Structure 1
Amino acid sequence: MRSIMPVKGRLLTPTKVLVTLLMLAAFFLPAPFVILSPGDPQNILGSAITITGTKVYPTSGKLSVTSVMVTDPDSYITGFDILYGWVDKDRAVIPRSEVYPEGETAEQAVEEGAAEMSGSQINATAAALSYLGYKSASKIVVLDINKSSNAYKAIEVSDQLLSIDDRTVKSSSELIAYLGDKKPGDLVTIKVIRAGLGVLTKSIKLSAREDNSAFIGINIEEQFDFPFDVKIKLEETGGPSGGLIFALGVVEKLTPENLVRSRNIAGTGTITTDGRVGPIGGIAEKIIGAQADGVEIFLTPTENCMDIKNLKALAKQKSGNSGKVMKIVPVATLAEAISLLELPDNAKFPSCQSFT
């Protein structure tokens, strides 16, 4: 049998140069990813919530909205950035498509985040006042119309939406649910109130999305006539995830009972006008940010419990310089969150363990 001697492979000099250039390009060329990192919790019990026209009670402690810092869709993310994000345990690297729609610019992302924040503040106020027993008249108003849909020109911005196929519409979720059984090309009858013209009835053929689901082509918002003025303003924060904490802040300022009781409390979660708490993104980064700020109780949507990994490791981490372990407490509604905050300090709180 012929013996075979191993021979050290050689690359021609031009090939070496090409391989080197390709490796360097992989580190310097832009990549379709975004980087998430923990943001600093923002206490809303100061000037973030302003209420006029009714009695407001003093507060104590901190009730903070948590956030995630995320690179914008126009950011130049290189291989070096991605490698650093993977090494840093406080950062996360995810595909850009999971955060931003295809083609969305940084300016569009900011506008969308601001709109979502505004909507969450309205929902939070409505949920808080409803919990406290206040009645607020509301209406569904058209905010925007898709120019490529059949609703364009048939429906106008600021029209008040009354019904679809004689079914009263009270929220966008109700409208979406009703359209779930419809097909593109189906006709629906829309009734609206238009300023100066009264009630109008429009027959609209449903349009098709890319997944072939049906849609009308209107963006709607529930608007309220609250019994007094509630303004919520938080700088440099967008999106809907502050809803739960905003609602708790409004309740805290409108009731003599002190829910926070000088504690450091933070949390996250969307909220509906009837007080249901919904899941959010970036939960791990928000928990890390809360721990660094010395938060004692962190309220998380129950539906996010499945996203919280390595719970034992999180539980063992001490919160800030307080030396205490931060409690991660799941909630499904505003009422549940309030009842948990009313518990004595030595009470046993629910945890995400039973939901994972």
Structure 2
Amino acid sequence: MFYHLLFPLSEHYALFNVFKYITFRSAYATVTALLISFIFGGWVIRKLEQMQIGETIDTDGPQHHQKKSGTPTMGGVLVLTAIVIPTLLWADLSNRMVLLALLGTVWMGVIGFIDDYLKVVKKRPKGMIGRFKLVGQVSYGLILGSILYFGGNGDFVAHTSVPFLKDVFINWGWFYIPLVILVVTGTSNAVNLADGLDGLAIGLSSLAFAGYAVIAYLTGHAVFADYLNLLNLPEAGELTVYCAAVVGAGIGFLWFNAHPARIFMGDTGSLALGGALGTVAILVKKEFLLVVIGGMFVAEALSVMAQVTWFKRTGGKRLFRMAPLHHHFELTGWSETQVVVRFWIIGVLLLLLGMSSIKLQ
């Protein structure tokens, strides 16, 4: 909004010329998101407590987690608010990629909200029926993939770069749409699985979005893209503002979600963040790099799949003490804070590895 309202004034007042710079607007999107989280975080927690919207802890999980029962949940509403409002204020809203990122955030957030509502308010332990949730996620992936493939140069859009390999691309052709569905659905569920310890998912998400903010900026900048041998996607630069807002919202929410958490984001936040992360990776043509930058999410998801497969094939034996992976390490004796911080450290290392691949291309 500010871009459209104030940048035109630069013709008369040079001061407003600053609004054309993505870096300026990204910085203020981060600050705005932080302020929204800080200012309204306490109020949201009190409201959720008054409405008795508290987390129900699964008895199948680690027993020491039972003390978290009743902690306000559905805090993803705060996260989404702190993402959407700064993006609307500071981004160029005529940019298609920004609108698609917002669509993914809200779409997946609504699915998560319905799931949380059914669990917490309607007291249905399983929440939304799994196949209905999957239909909602796949539908978004189908819409996104179709818009990208049929709304532009299909042959160009269907090309995906391969990390660490120079000038190596995979042309998916018609399989590009199923790829998009797989990425957004898989990422949203992977982040959801990681949201089991205080601060874990929101911290890892903030790291991943910080990385993709840099990638979006470099991809959208003709000079940097040429120097780094990246596909130059002029529209992608504006995603930096969106990613910056997500980072600000994530850090702001972490203030209240750090151990011992005063609020959980629930599926409202985790599905939205996962779907948005997958969307951004697709838009900047770095889908495969998500496996590196979001490596901890991949590990969490794979641990669940491996546990289930091993359990079925061995007649009841377990590969891990408990899945997802973070619970396994808890049961080996690590404290919750140790698991979270160590996973963050690995997340930082994976982020640096992923960013280094850009220079190596």
- TM-score of the superposition, structure 1-length normalised? 0.32
Specify which structure has the higher proportion of strand. Answer: 1
- TM-score of the superposition, structure 2-length normalised? 0.32
Specify which structure has the higher proportion of helix. Answer: 2
